[in-house]
Chain A
Amino acid sequence: MSEPAKRKRTLRAWRGDASGGKFEEYTVEVDQGMVVLDLVHRAQRDAEGAGDMACRWNCKAGKCGSCSMEINGKPKLACMTRLGDYAPDEVIQVQPLKTFPIIRDLTTDVSWNYEQNKKIAPFTPPPRPEGDYRMKQKDVDRIQEFRKCIECFLCQDTCHVLRDHDKKAPATQPAGKPPQGFIGPRFMIRVAQLDMHPLDTVDRIPKLKEEWGSGYCNITKCCTEVCPEHINITDNGIIPMKERVVDRFYDPITMLLSKLGGGSKRTVQK
């Protein structure tokens, strides 16, 4: 394919901070094969007034999860979104993530996510008197999928529970109250990854239901639709965890059987 004379593209970028802002348009020359992140960088270099546009990025390879933004309304990684996916004259509109507080321009403060991660007891294997652990491939396979997560938080941004209803799990859960919020899909699969580990010894299921709000998810699958790592968040992570919650809290038969069998062999996370 012969390359036409220099093409131009218009970037419509949100410029502002917590106090307000507006969309600015920058028209710059583009080359073949560019991604949206390149377009942002090109605007920073070439366009008048765009030099100080804030944008987070690191790897430009879809592996660090820094360049998450909303491109023409869809949560995406800017470094993995090709300009060629849009009509040649289509304006590329970029916005910061809606779900998290804006810092400036395209950057948001995603620290709430790290706070959720801290709530989840880490992997806790039993003491190992007999040397190294051996894990069979069939046990590795199921949880390996969740380890692909690059913590881009696009799933958290899209999840309507967090995005539109702002039911983010608060720092502390008041005792005796129903869950006050949801930890979000990224941390549902983090819990799944730990809970499905044959060597783990912590029981996080009561926390998952009572504090981390697994019941807020209505399995509408938007998290799965936007995940750049193509993790089957809903079908392989969230739904299996919801079924485990059912075993423990809703199904009278499994509850009775578990009681007769002496309950979970794991130590309940306090």
Chain B
Amino acid sequence: MANASTGGHVQGLGATMRKDAWWQGPALTAGILSLWLVYYAFAAAQGKYYSAGPYISPFYIAYEHPASVTDMSPGYAWFGFWPDSWPAFFPPALVMGALPGMFRMTCYYYRKAYYRSFFGMPPGCAVGPVPHDYRGETFLLVFQNLHRYTLYIAIALLPLLYLDAIKGLWYDGRPGIGLGTVLLGANAVLLTGYTLGCHAWRHLVGGKLNCFSCDGASEARHGLWGRVTWLNERHQQFAWSSLIMIAICDIYIRSVSMGVIPDINTWSGVTWIGDFH
């Protein structure tokens, strides 16, 4: 590493002349992301308590175990049941989580977050990085360039989240709504905001054009690009709010399912898990 400190500068991991608490942001990011991952691993591996009444946890999107199906069962297994022979060490929720997981892992925003918080490349601005032969995203990390393919998967999954939320509007042969429905609905909306604010999406819908006014099609794409830009400017906020909302939905449904708290709904006011069929 050159740029020897002829101006009184310092060198090495975490070395800086900054006097502010530059490490607070990255530390908070690392803390929340780690907590989230630990909770997710626990919830996904557990394999039970993922549904209650008309609700299913977003971790278990499109999943239902045949044994849990009753006549009242809402039926979430949009693509059929997972085979009985599915190996237990790789729970279905981990499979379904890996898809949006890859989307988030290659997201331009999360890349910034974890390169700084977990990998110290660099930990902060004008703060010394982990000393290594830096190759950027030209070498081992070149796969980050395929982020747009994970976007296609994420867009394909969005309708399933809405379907799961809409399922929450019907129970016991009657329409209605519960706190779980509201949470699942909010989750779907936040995830839509996150997904459609993606930088790769912004590029594909119009950003790639050099001329926004050359014909009708480019004018229309300019309009679309403008809307995606609005979401894109809030991408970080959507990234966090949607991530936390997924966990809140799971915690709520898990708690209702375990009988820790009741659901509040229009079907019978306050419903404990025993009163759901």
Contact = CB atoms under 8 A, between A and B. Distances in A.
A72 B19 contact: yes
Interface string A152-164: 0000001011011
A98 to B, nearest CB: 4
Nearest to A22: B8
Interface string B193-225: 000000110110001101111100000001000
Interface in B129-181: 129, 134-139, 141-142, 145-146, 148
B241 interface: no
Given A18-B6, A72-B19, A160 B212 contact: no
Contact of A142 (B16, B203, B212): B212
B112 A73 contact: no
Interface in A205-247: 213, 215-222, 225-226, 235, 239-240, 242-247
A16 B148 CA distance: 50
A242 B137 CA distance: 11
B136 A218 contact: yes
A75 B125 CA distance: 9
A8 B1 CA distance: 39
A115 interface: no
A17 B7 CA distance: 8
Given A73-B126, A164-B129, A138 B222 contact: yes
Interface in A97-135: 97-99, 101-102, 108
Contact of B3 (A98, A195, A213, A235): A98
Given A136-B212, A219-B108, A251-B146, A160 B7 contact: no
B199 A161 contact: no
Given A98-B7, A158-B125, A217 B17 contact: no
Nearest to A96: B7
Contacts of A243: 148, 199-200, 203, 207-208
Interface stretch (B68-76, B115-123, B183-191): B115-123
B5 A98 contact: yes
Given A164-B3, A218-B115, A73 B148 contact: no
B2 interface: yes
B128 interface: yes
A245 B111 CA distance: 18
Contact of A246 (B148, B212, B213): B148
Nearest to A102: B6
Contact residues on B (Cβ < 8 Å of other chain), bracket: 35 or more
A218 B123 CA distance: 12
Among A75, A108, A218, A246, the most chain B Cβ lie within 10 Å of the Cβ of A218
A136 B126 CA distance: 40
Given A70-B17, A138-B213, A225 B125 contact: yes
A247 B208 contact: yes
Given A235-B232, A239-B199, A75 B126 contact: yes
A157 B129 CA distance: 14
A200 interface: yes
B145 A246 contact: yes
Nearest to B124: A222
Nearest to B210: A198
A14 interface: yes
Contact of A163 (B108, B126, B135): B126
A221 B121 CA distance: 11
Contacts of B199: 235, 239-240, 243
B5 A240 contact: no
Contact of A240 (B9, B111, B136, B203): B203
Contacts of B137: 215-218
B138 A215 contact: yes
B36 to A, nearest CB: 21
Contacts of B20: 72, 74
B8 A14 contact: yes
B143 to A, nearest CB: 9
A182 B121 CA distance: 16
Given A73-B17, A75-B125, 9 more contacts: A16-B6, A179-B138, A196-B210, A198-B212, A216-B136, A219-B112, A220-B112, A240-B203, A251-B145
27 contacts: A17-B6, A18-B6, A21-B6, A70-B7, A72-B17, A74-B125, A95-B8, A96-B7, A98-B5, A160-B122, A161-B134, A163-B3, A164-B3, A165-B129, A213-B136, A215-B137, A216-B138, A218-B111, A220-B121, A222-B126, A239-B203, A243-B208, A246-B148, A247-B208, A249-B145, A250-B145, A251-B148
Interface of B: 1-3, 5-9, 11, 16-20, 108, 111-112, 115-116, 121-122, 125-126, 128-129, 134-139, 141-142, 145-146, 148, 199-200, 202-203, 207-208, 210-214, 222, 232-233
Which 7 pairs across A and B sit closest by C-beta, in order of nearness?
A73-B18, A73-B17, A215-B138, A222-B125, A198-B211, A216-B136, A136-B213
